[in-house]
Amino acid sequence: MSQFVEGRSSSSIRRSIAELATIHKLIRFVDPTKDPGVVLEMRRMHRKLGRSCSQAGSINAYNLDKMLLATDDSIRAIRDRALLLVAYDTYAGVVN
């Protein structure tokens, strides 16, 4: 499993393990991810890589203005501006 860990984040490894478990469950095979060796290796991996995921920061009015000013006048840019404004306004309405 140590070759599997190299260059991947703990969340992507956990996702792959969950996919493997689901496939085995669907075809009614014994789930190899429940093996004590796998569980132990997952604990080692979490000690080595950690569990936390970095999440993108929120968009505030300053960042929104910078993103809006960075767009040009193409059709895609107009769409992007509309999506940014709708997303920002929708989120701001929930918080307030």
- Residue with the larger pLDDT of the pair 4 and 78: 78
The Cα–Cα gap between 64 and 66 comes to 5
The Cα–Cα gap between 28 and 22 comes to 10
Residue 66 has pLDDT above 50, yes or no: yes
Average pLDDT over residues 71-85: 93
Cα–Cα–Cα angle for 57, 61, 64, rounded to 5 degrees: 70
- Render pLDDT for 36-45 as a digit per residue (tens, 0 to 9): 999 998 898 8
- Render pLDDT for 18-64 as a digit per residue (tens, 0 to 9): 999 999 999 999 999 999 999 998 898 888 888 766 677 778 889 89
Which residues, 6+ apart, have CB-to-CB distance to 58 below 8 Å?
91
